[in-house]
Structure 1
């Protein structure tokens, strides 16, 4: 048994953990990064990157299927699942090697193994301990299921869906959140008969209702069946199929059932509570500077209550490293963090929904404008429908931006800047957007809210 001392010990090598490690090393700290699997975590290996690779493959499939509509002679002969998997794994491998090289270049000590937090603060890995002047907890999240619904066989979570050796002929997706709509989009482009079951009234229920409705219309046009506002009852499977009973008595049958009801914090069995960490429903309680109740122990990413987004964890990791160094950094509020569902069409947002803004400021104090992408030249060229919705306080700043349409996720950073800097539409309206781009649609919405619409009545 031996003890190793570092300025910072990070437990978990996902987006939040490796960001904290890199920034701390950059600031001259000695860092140990403890990871039981592969640095990069869920985002790189089982989430963001592999699913977006599949979404790109799905986009290519759609282009091949519909090329003749724009005068390009193409044909769609099906999906080579093994080749798509090889393409996806190649991207993940390349990004993983790049991250490993970056960590090595910073002089960070990577410890392979399962860590357990102890008072000190320190982390035990096997017979060794790693003591830090500070410890950052960044253990991430795991797929959730529902009580009585056991994963296995034809009942799978998203990480299992990535490893399917064949494209299913049909799929039921339980949950209409980001994971659910992204896999629905992928599989439908691959020719799968898809049904989404969502207990709430809309897909992506955390988004502005206008965005949810726009996505639902688009999915209906794509032939994706939606069972909204109905709860799951039970599921059973045979060697050939899985059957789902809904609470309203409806029965559904498919090749696979994807359980996409969200992700839970990975905090159980890691010694957190014994070391003085307060948990609430498995999440780590922190103050507004991400300090836990244990001295010199911090938490970032999916184990901290709030939206479970890789870029949120990344930003929090940088924040904590700078906070420890005494740099007094600014922590971006959760509502200021952009969200994107990369389905087709994409759904992106930042700030408040119209309903949330009305609740915060009063219905009469909020003005929203919705611009249809049918009026945008680049969107017409791309063949995408959708909307741009901007919410402002009357005679005040922009407080929410909501986008639906293929590739609109690339516009969300401009929206974040507008909201983060409390810009008024009148401030933004004079700035010209390049033509033809989809960003012009966002400009049109700002113009309209400034009282001078050009391409809208």
Structure 2
């Protein structure tokens, strides 16, 4: 006989487990089905362990530049196995934390491979055993996986996806990174700081193509200065194992095709939603290029089937998945949550320097027909940034000249992934330039640059 619940969630990533906790808080009887590890890709193989690696490379960079801070550090080196081990321990600690949260919130965890067999019914395969579940509502939160090159599947030896790049058994000497989105740039930054010779290939005209053009241009110069070779407007026509490495056929802007050998390659060209073989086709759940189509609350076209997170499409971000989970379960429980507003979802890249943004780029705002006021303030004008030895970067704000609405904010530099939340809150509260100008910012802080950028949009900057 099937176990019965108010809600069953398929997938325990940052969308699934957060939705489970909120549903339990709202009084629903909840089960969550997971085929691998609680916390999903983000916690175990994405957001968290990569930040642990990037923290290591950041410290290593500071050690190599200790003299600029009046310090001495001799015989600097690293143990790759210990670097990876620290990252895995961080992921393991948080995985254990999610297990504790499930127990605390009385969420039933069902381990195994889940399939939706009918509306309100799931089968979970646990080796030779099958467990049947029934629920009034099912949320699909199965996430996504790395996209392979059609002509060169990752082998884990010399051709890597992000999962392989997080647990290297050897340090690349000459690394090719294919794709310059957040994942590609983060790994390029990590391996470059750890001593690899890094090349990034990007088909589009600029790196970090979803960011503001000025941010992309700044990052191009910053990464090039660090020694990373950037090939934009460049395609990859072939990639194959060759000896102890890989040989890449690279088509340059001028149409010329060259061959170059690398010790390793990381494929970072996007993701594929995990929608296959989970029973959606038989139920008639509508998809778009594999992504489940939903409304602003997470409802699909099939009654009783909801979906959240990467499986529903861009932006493919953990915090977007979590918020979608909250909205969905509050709606399921009879509440009246606001629909998801993707324009208020911040994007962050944890490279060196960091990149963060929310809302429209200047170009997108112009395309939309807005008359703009744009402010920009450099890190070199900020006392805290100079004191930290992090004086490269800028903060940019884009306003509607007629209403004062904050249309977008774009940052590049030290700790901007923390600073961006100030602008996210401002947009959520529908703040105008007037409130931001009258806000008192602590001194000395990096956040003062946010204030100065706003003032600069209206010709009132004090320190620049």
* Interval of TM-score (by shorter of Structure 1 and Structure 2): over 0.9
Query: Is the Cα contact below 8 Å between 2:377 and 2:394 reproduced in 1?
Result: yes
Q: Which residue of 2 aligns with 1:137?
A: 140
State the secondary structure of the residue aligned to 2:60.
helix
- Residue 388 (1) aligns with residue 395 (2): yes
Q: What is the Cα deviation at residue 89 of structure 1?
A: 1.4
Q: Which residue of 1 aligns with 2:166?
A: 162
Residue of structure 1 aligned with 2:376, choices 370, 373, 381: 370
Q: What is the Cα deviation at residue 426 of structure 1?
A: 2.0
State the secondary structure of the residue aligned to 1:176.
coil
Q: What is the Cα deviation at residue 330 of structure 1?
A: 1.6
Cα distance, 1:76–1:54 mapped onto 2, change above 3 Å: farther
Query: Is the Cα contact below 8 Å between 1:292 and 1:299 reproduced in 2?
Result: yes
> Separation in 1 of the partners of 2:395 and 2:64?
28
Q: Which residue of 2 aligns with 1:22?
A: 21
> Separation in 2 of the partners of 1:252 and 1:8?
53
Deviations along 1:288-311, whole A, 9 cap, x unmatched? 221001111100000112200001
Deviations along 1:193-233, whole A, 9 cap, x unmatched? 00000000111100111111111111011111100111111
State the secondary structure of the residue aligned to 1:429.
helix
> Separation in 1 of the partners of 2:453 and 2:123?
54
- Residue 257 (1) aligns with residue 269 (2): no
Query: Is the Cα contact below 8 Å between 1:64 and 1:76 reproduced in 2?
Result: no
Residue of structure 2 aligned with 1:305, choices 306, 313, 338: 313
Q: Which residue of 2 aligns with 1:418?
A: 426
- Residue 361 (1) aligns with residue 364 (2): no
State the secondary structure of the residue aligned to 2:71.
coil
> Separation in 2 of the partners of 1:79 and 1:169?
15
Query: Is the Cα contact below 8 Å between 1:426 and 1:450 reproduced in 2?
Result: no
Q: What is the Cα deviation at residue 390 of structure 1?
A: 0.3
The CA RMSD measured in Å over matched residues stands at: 1.2
- Residue 243 (1) aligns with residue 211 (2): no
Q: How does 1:419-434 map to 2 (within 5 A)?
A: 419-434=427-442
Q: Which residue of 2 aligns with 1:326?
A: 334
Deviations along 1:302-353, whole A, 9 cap, x unmatched? 0112200001001111111111111111233112100100000000000000
State the secondary structure of the residue aligned to 1:92.
helix
Query: Is the Cα contact below 8 Å between 2:31 and 2:108 reproduced in 1?
Result: yes
Q: Which residue of 2 aligns with 1:148?
A: 151
Q: What is the Cα deviation at residue 10 of structure 1?
A: 0.3
> Separation in 2 of the partners of 1:203 and 1:381?
29
Query: Is the Cα contact below 8 Å between 1:399 and 1:422 reproduced in 2?
Result: no
Query: Is the Cα contact below 8 Å between 2:152 and 2:240 reproduced in 1?
Result: no
Consecutive unaligned residues in structure 2, runs of 5 or more: none
> Separation in 2 of the partners of 1:97 and 1:390?
40
State the secondary structure of the residue aligned to 2:368.
helix
Residue of structure 2 aligned with 1:173, choices 165, 173, 177: 177
> Separation in 2 of the partners of 1:383 and 1:284?
46
Query: Is the Cα contact below 8 Å between 2:15 and 2:324 reproduced in 1?
Result: yes
Q: How does 1:198-209 map to 2 (within 5 A)?
A: 198-209=202-213
Q: What is the Cα deviation at residue 76 of structure 1?
A: 5.3
Query: Is the Cα contact below 8 Å between 2:376 and 2:457 reproduced in 1?
Result: no
Query: Is the Cα contact below 8 Å between 2:292 and 2:313 reproduced in 1?
Result: yes
Deviations along 1:165-212, whole A, 9 cap, x unmatched? 122111000000010000011001101100000000111100111111
State the secondary structure of the residue aligned to 1:37.
coil
Deviations along 1:88-123, whole A, 9 cap, x unmatched? 111111111111011111111100000011222221
Q: Which residue of 2 aligns with 1:95?
A: 94
> Separation in 2 of the partners of 1:366 and 1:23?
40
Q: Which residue of 2 aligns with 1:73?
A: 72
Q: How does 1:185-224 map to 2 (within 5 A)?
A: 185-224=189-228
Name the TM-score, length of structure 1 as normaliser. Answer: 0.97
> Separation in 1 of the partners of 2:201 and 2:248?
10
Residue of structure 2 aligned with 1:291, choices 281, 299, 306: 299
Aligned residues: 453
Q: What is the Cα deviation at residue 433 of structure 1?
A: 1.1
